[in-house]
Amino acid sequence: MNNFWKAVIVLSAFIAAAQCLQCRQCPVGIFGTCLFGRDVTCNNATESCHTSEAQFNATGSITLHIRGCLDNDLCGKTLTGSLLGAAFTTSFKCCTTDLCNGATSVQLSLTVALGAAILSFVWGMWDL
């Protein structure tokens, strides 16, 4: 009988893990490029994936794009705040299926981005 309860607990853990939402995570995205992007499994309490934009009010030209897991209470909201004295506005858009917040732009790892920058610099020097 003891083995029966162990099996029930293990099966319950697998079912709970299978129901977790998967989202695209992008902690920093700028100029259409996601730095450090990856797919993550959200915890059981998280019901939504999000795509957010943080726009700095002073310049209006710098927009940060952020993706990841988010609780439903922030979905569809717009928040304001400040970072080092610069005011910004952040808006949250949510969806509820696996990887629904996937990138519409090219996702580059930091290594690839730096490699491309170095290659273009070296290539540009040959043209001189």
How confident is the model over 71-126, as pLDDT tens digits?
Answer: 999 999 999 998 888 888 999 999 999 999 985 444 445 555 555 556 666 666 66
pLDDT for 16-42, tens place per residue? 444 689 999 998 888 778 888 999 999
Q: Which CATH number fits the domain 23-126, given the four candidates 2.40.70.10, 2.10.60.10, 3.20.20.70, 3.30.70.20?
A: 2.10.60.10
Nearest to 103 by CA among 22, 21, 24: 24
Contacts of 93 (CB under 8 A, 6+ apart): 50, 51, 52, 75, 76
